[in-house]
Structure 1
Amino acid sequence: MIDSTQFQAEKINNHIVKWLLDYATNAKVKGFVVGISGGIDSALTSTLCAQTGLPTLCVEMPIHQAESHVNRANEHINQLKKRFPNATNSRVDLTPTFETFKNDVPTSDNEAAYNLSLANTRARLRMTTLYYLAGIHGYLVAGTGNKVEDFGVGFYTKYGDGGVDLSPIADLLKSEVRQLAKYVKVPDSILVAKPTDGLFGDDRSDEDQIGASYDELEWAMEQIESGKTENDFTDRKLKVFTIFKRLNFLNQHKMRPIPVCKIPQDLK
């Protein structure tokens, strides 16, 4: 975990905002669209986008969403709109769409696989919605993934919340996200909330699903980058290290470019 005394929040904030503005200007697009979940990553991302001065559309896309998530999302959006006149919001209730999809596709005897597939479907319906809104407005879809999720354990849905145009906070560890979110005045209710993807319609947290906290995962990521192996640890540290390494291996297909079968020249 990064030492807070070494974290230069103002400079990092300004760097990301300039990067966003430069990218949008060069791409000749009008603004950004961000999916708002009630979590810290989307709250930080939308705040950074709003700071560019370009139109920033915050989109709620509930699918059987927990009331606490909805309340946090609304609190953040209302605060952001008061602070930034270029911030607007839209709400697309995807629950009926999700239910129609679920009723039209076959079920499975493998309950775990069935539930996971439905959870990923929620994320992909939201991605489709964000790209629709981005298309009609001439905006870019801003990703909300952080470094541990995107490049550590691959804790996101391929072509769901992983389907974005640009990723402003993907080089920030979760602890850095917390520090920067506090600096940009993300609501306290979001700062202290347990991280959750909200894809299962219950209150399970990211830690419940992964088996380790983000602070522990950051630690494991640092150990692997420094060349450590399982032989260097025991007890809880060994368990966390093993969890990280296993998920990193299993989710490499999300982090690497799509494999392309290259045809030898003499066959063409």
Structure 2
Amino acid sequence: MQVERVSESITKWLKDYAQNAGMKGYVVGISGGIDSAVTSTLCAATGLDTLCVEMPIHQHLDHVTRAQEHIKSLKARFNNVSDVRSDLTPVFDTFIKTMPDADPSPLKELTEGNTRARLRMTTLYYHGGMNSLLVAGTGNKVEDFGVGFYTKYGDGGVDVSPIADLLKSEVYKLGKYLSVQQSILKAAPSDGLYGAEKTDEEQIGATYDELEWAMEEIEKGKTAESFVGREKEVMHIYLSYNSRNQHKMNPIPLWEFPGNLR
């Protein structure tokens, strides 16, 4: 990948899009991970207003520390960057208290995790609306179009997706080029939707390198039955996520009015 040219191309695309939309710039949720670090740096490079938003909800300390380090670094490098911290822990706790009681279960944990993501989406759009900024998404190609590892109307609710055509490995290459801090480059990817550190690999059951491999093999026309051992297992993991998350990747189903019923 030609990282310099890719960086310049995305930056120009972001700048042109915001200006054509009559907006002042972008708002980005900062999680302490590589995707939000790269996205916010690209937004900052446009020279347009870039608002970095921290939105902790019972957040793991490592995430908070990395996010704050990144914001501090970005503000030192770009005079068009500002930041705000919206502590959503009380909002989340109050919301959960208004919901029916439920016994602890994987479904409860997943639902509450998705609720966190949707509260953050609402928060980003609030800050965006108040400052005439577009919401920049932070999803990469593996998450958005491979396994659907994001929350519908949560981190999937954005105005633009500047890195959604980059594989995770390409995001890391761009991050190195953009001088993203080592603590973020070395950190295990995590969606940060749970109080304790839970990595993406632990949730999915495969690494991003493995998922990228599976995507490439499927594009070549291979199936899970073409492999054995761990490779076959990874293919099954990828295909399972891809199949059940098609509702995230495809347009909302629309019932079409039959002409003979009008």
**With structure 1 as the length reference, what TM-score do the two structures score?**
0.97
Contact 1:107 1:114 in 2 (8 A): no
Q: Percent identity?
A: 63
Partner of 1:3: none
Superposition misfits of 4+ residues, deviation over 3 angstroms: none
In structure 2, what is the Cα distance between the partners aligned to 1:231 and 1:102?
Answer: 44
1:148-203 CA-partner distances (Å, limit 9, x unpaired): 00000000000000000000000000000000000000010000000000111111
Q: Is the aligned partner of 1:265 residue 2:262? A: no
Aligned to 1:101: 95
The amino acid that maps onto 1:52 is T
Q: Which residue of 2 aligns with 1:243?
A: 237
Deviations 1:11-64 (A, max 9, x none): 000000010011111111111000000000000000000000000000000000
The equivalent position to 2:152 in structure 1, one of 158, 169, 172, is 158
Aligned to 1:210: 204
| In the alignment, structure 1 residue 193 sits paired with structure 2 residue 187 | yes
The residue aligned with 2:19 is 25
Shift of 1:108: 2.8
Q: What 5-or-longer segments of structure 1 have no aligned partner?
A: 1-6
Query: SS in structure 1 opposite 2:203?
Result: helix
- Aligned partners of 2:69, 2:104: CA distance in 1, in Å? 38
Gapped runs of 5+ residues in structure 2? Answer: none
In the alignment, structure 1 residue 67 sits paired with structure 2 residue 61: yes
1:95-134 to structure 2, matched below 5 A, reads: 95-109=89-103, 111-134=105-128
**In structure 1, distance between residues paired with 2:104 and 2:93:** 19
SS of the residue corresponding to residue 72 of structure 1 reads helix
Count residues with an aligned counterpart.
262
1:219 aligns with 2:213: yes
**What's 2:248 paired with?**
254
The C-alpha deviation readout for 1:74-100, integer Å capped at 9, x for no partner, is 000000000000000000000000000
Structure 1 position 109, deviation (Å)? 4.1
Q: What is the TM-score with the length of structure 2 in the denominator? A: 0.99
1:137-156 superposed matches below 5 A: 137-156=131-150
Q: Give 1:107 shift.
A: 2.7
AA of the residue aligned to 2:87: D
Whole-Å Cα distance in 2 between the matches of residues 124 and 61 of structure 1? 11
SS of the equivalent of 2:253 reads coil
